[in-house]
């Protein structure tokens, strides 16, 4: 075919590509994220060797990263579809409010746990319906629901937290936040399970394929029979479910539910998704990237303190990371697009 | 000759506006029909009726391979094998070639698990055969945004043929393409003919339509103003007539062809 010859002329001369370079090209985003992780780790290792040579810091990261990493993973799906969810922080507390209400009424913490997940799922579904069916841009819709659920939590709980010491020794507690062999925190295992589950959903099911298509070109996806509305609503619902689960896990680990919980997880959750290489423009993103980036983000705060800076720098660096990673995406998009 | 698609006495009014009036139109098996007409001639309304997006007014009839289709919906049209290739809306730019080929029709096993290897290997096969992409720089993982305009049309046409489309509707496929890209795109349209399928090629540009169409249908203000077998008219003669219709509003349709002998 003549077109073959012409097509080749138009391209850069193609060197013989080995399997490794093709693999590197295909996974360039993930490699970049791992590179950033190694770089930051090296900086901290040089700056504060005593802290970063000890096991304690890594143990602390395994304990606390899942608190928001478990939300960042499904949030990646929402952002790949080209939407955003800013309400997950309030939904963490709203789910625990569901636990609060049902537990106080029944004194059954299993029922309370189920209620927690249901409250989160429904709150996520509502986000999805507002965005997709009513057509409110997700940025505005979820700022609204973020305030709404945060307020609803305060109204229902009368701003009173509850102690959760009754969970101590229960199967629910040891299953979610216990330690394997006295060391490895269960929430880290749950974060890995969620990451594997969402990775499978995104990369090995029609649903996942349609998540990418919905975020890339809504119109062509629709013309090819993709039910974009259903895909987006499902993604929002998954974030709601995960937020409630993460809210329960962090509360159970601390044996206390604070009605204002989740507000502090806002920036680092979003930063993890963007640093992980997910495009704010939709259409691209990986679960692996978000997973690794969650640990990078969570290491920044203790790392800064360990190298001798004040904690006030943490937010400066989070902000810097968000702006730089989104700016890089914009530049790459213009260059390649 | 067999007809793959036939429209009889199809009209379409939107309120006061008659977009189509008593149109009789057909596409033969393995025939490429060029559809020419000015803006507002009714080309896009006709396409939307063929793809099930609009329903014709009562009295109009649609036949697919000789069988009357009572209610042609978008889903029904796709099931029958009518596929539209749009210039801008066909592909998802940031996604890999294999994801674009299998867009909305992914291969999965009975548990719903995607067979990614199968989709990649099928895409590789299509690249080497149908699309003729043999450069090592292009793989089934390449994002389609790196492709040229003609190649993109090629991907969309290859996809339609792969999923056994019988009739491919090309809505201004060469719009905005450079000369060499247009040439490439037209080669893909010729590939439809070679594959034994049919196509409707809609374009403003007679120079693009003439070389590859078997028959040219001219729409003017909602009616079929005339149709010509390419063999019966030279390009110059066709251009002359189209220029005259622009001036006088009347198209010289001799030698007239009727649906009965059209396409042979």
Strands B3-14 and A256-257: unpaired
Cα B146–B147–B152 angle (5° rounding)?
140
With contact defined as beta carbons under 8 Å apart, do A56 and A260 qualify? Answer: no
Q: Is A206 on the interface with B (CB under 8 A)?
A: yes
Question: Is B95 in contact with A213 (Cβ distance < 8 A)?
Answer: yes
Disruptive mutation site among B82, B87, B94 for chain A (greatest number of A CBs within 10 Å)? B94
Q: Is this complex's ipTM strictly greater than 0.95?
A: no
Could you read off the pLDDT of A23-33 as tens digits, one per residue? Answer: 777 777 778 78
Inter-chain residue contact B132 with A226, CB threshold 8 Å: no
The answer to whether A221 contacts B106, with C-beta atoms less than 8 Å apart, is no
Q: Which residue of chain B has the CA closest to A203?
A: B114
Q: Which of B48, B77, B137, B143 should be substituted to probe chain A, the one whose Cβ sees the most A Cβ atoms within 10 Å?
A: B137
The whole-angstrom separation of Cα A328 and Cα B9 is 57
B204, with CB counted inside 10 A (0-12, 13-18, 19+), is: middle
The whole-angstrom separation of Cα A313 and Cα A18 is 43
User: Chain B contacts of A1, Cβ < 8 Å?
Assistant: 132, 187
Q: What is the pLDDT along chain B (264 residues), one digit of tens a residue?
A: 689 999 999 999 998 888 999 999 999 999 999 998 887 888 888 988 998 888 999 999 999 999 999 988 888 888 899 988 876 667 998 899 999 999 988 999 988 899 999 999 999 998 888 877 767 778 888 888 888 888 888 898 889 888 889 999 998 888 878 888 888 888 888 889 998 999 999 987 888 888 889 999 988 888 888 888 888 888 888 888 877 777 776 777 776 554 444 443
- A277 to chain B: which residues are within 8 Å by CB? none
Interface contact flag, A14 B135, Cβ < 8 Å: yes
Which residues, 6 or more positions from B179, have their beta carbon under 8 angstroms from its beta carbon? none
Q: Of B84, B114, B184, which has the smallest distance from its Cβ to A209's Cβ?
A: B114
The per-residue pLDDT for B237 is 85
pLDDT for A17 equals 54
**CB proximity B78 to A under 8 Å:** yes
A217, A286, A333: best to mutate for the B interface, most B CBs within 10 A: A217
Does residue A187 contact residue A63 with C-beta atoms inside 8 Å? yes
Report H helices in chain B.
43-50, 74-80, 97-101, 116-128, 149-162, 179-194, 206-212, 235-248
Beta carbons of B261 and B228 less than 8 angstroms apart: no
Partner residue facing B92 (CB), from A15, A279, A283: A283
How many pairs of residues across A and B have Cβ atoms under 8 Å apart?
110
Low pLDDT (below 70) residues in chain A: 1-18, 333, 335-337
pTM of the predicted structure, to 2 decimals = 0.85
Among A2, A204, A224, whose Cβ lies nearest the Cβ of B114? A204
Contacts of B139 in chain A (CB under 8 A): 22
Measured CA to CA, the distance from residue A5 to residue A3 in angstroms comes to: 5
Q: Please name which of B65, B147, B137 lies closest in space to residue B101, comparing C-alpha atoms.
A: B147
Q: Rounded to an integer, what distance in angstroms lies between the CA atom of residue A249 and that of residue B132?
A: 54
CA distance A170 to A183: 18
The pLDDT value recorded for residue B152 is: 85
């Amino acid at each position: 075919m003549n077109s073959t010859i012409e097509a080749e002329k138009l391209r850069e001369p193609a060197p013989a590509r080995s399997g490794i370079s093709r693999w590197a090209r295909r996974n360039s985003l993930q490699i970049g994220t791992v590179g950033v992780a190694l770089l930051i780790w090296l900086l901290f290792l040089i700056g504060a060797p005593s802290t970063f040579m000890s096991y304690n810091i890594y143990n602390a990261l395994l304990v606390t990263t899942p608190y928001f990493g478990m939300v960042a993973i499904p949030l990646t799906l929402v952002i790949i579809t080209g939407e955003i969810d800013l309400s997950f922080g309030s939904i963490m507390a709203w789910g625990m409010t569901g636990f609060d209400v049902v537990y106080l009424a029944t004194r059954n913490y299993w029922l309370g746990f189920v209620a927690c997940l249901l409250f989160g799922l429904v709150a996520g579904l509502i986000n999805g319906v507002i965005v997709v069916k009513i057509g409110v841009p997700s940025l505005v819709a979820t700022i609204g629901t973020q305030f709404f659920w945060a307020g609803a939590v305060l109204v229902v709980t009368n701003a009173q937290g509850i102690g959760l010491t009754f969970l101590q020794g229960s199967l629910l507690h040891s299953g979610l936040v216990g330690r394997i062999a006295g060391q490895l925190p269960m929430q880290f295992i749950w974060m890995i399970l969620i990451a594997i589950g969402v990775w499978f959903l995104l990369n090995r099911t029609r649903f996942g394929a349609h998540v990418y298509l919905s975020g890339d070109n809504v119109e062509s996806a629709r013309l090819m029979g993709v039910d974009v509305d259903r895909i987006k609503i499902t993604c929002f619902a998954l974030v709601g479910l995960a937020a409630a689960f993460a809210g329960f896990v962090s509360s159970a680990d601390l044996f206390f539910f604070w009605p204002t919980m989740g507000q502090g997880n806002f920036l680092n959750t979003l930063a993890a998704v963007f640093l992980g290489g997910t495009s704010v423009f939709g259409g691209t993103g990986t679960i692996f990237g978000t997973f690794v980036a969650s640990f990078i983000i969570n290491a920044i705060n203790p790392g800064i303190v360990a190298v001798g800076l004040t904690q006030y720098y943490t937010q400066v660096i989070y902000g810097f990371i968000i702006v730089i990673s989104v700016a890089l995406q914009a530049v790459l998009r213009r260059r390649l697009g | 000759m067999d007809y793959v698609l036939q429209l009889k006495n199809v009209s379409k009014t939107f309120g006061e506006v008659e977009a189509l009036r008593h149109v009789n139109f057909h596409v033969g098996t393995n025939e490429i029909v060029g559809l020419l007409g000015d803006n507002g001639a009714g080309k896009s309304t006709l396409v939307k009726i063929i793809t099930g997006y609009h329903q014709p007014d009562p009295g109009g009839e649609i036949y697919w391979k000789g069988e009357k289709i009572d209610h042609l919906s978008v889903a029904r049209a796709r099931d029958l094998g009518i596929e539209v290739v749009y210039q801008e809306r066909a592909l998802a730019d940031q996604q890999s070639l294999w994801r674009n080929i299998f867009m909305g029709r992914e291969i999965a096993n009975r548990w719903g698990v995607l067979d990614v290897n199968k989709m990649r290997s099928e895409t590789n096969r299509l690249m080497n055969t149908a699309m003729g992409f043999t450069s090592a720089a292009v793989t089934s993982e390449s994002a389609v945004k790196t492709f040229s305009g003609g190649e993109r049309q090629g991907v969309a046409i290859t996809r339609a043929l792969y999923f056994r489309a019988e009739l491919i509707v090309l809505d201004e496929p060469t719009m905005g393409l450079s000369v060499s890209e247009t040439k490439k795109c037209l080669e893909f349209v010729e590939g439809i003919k070679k594959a034994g399928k049919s196509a409707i090629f809609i374009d403003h540009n007679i120079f693009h339509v003439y070389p590859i169409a078997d028959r040219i249908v001219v729409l003017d203000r909602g009616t079929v103003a005339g149709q010509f077998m390419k063999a019966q008219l030279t390009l110059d003669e066709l251009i002359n007539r189209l220029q005259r219709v622009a001036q006088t509003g009347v198209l010289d349709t001799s030698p007239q062809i009727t649906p009965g002998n059209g396409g042979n």
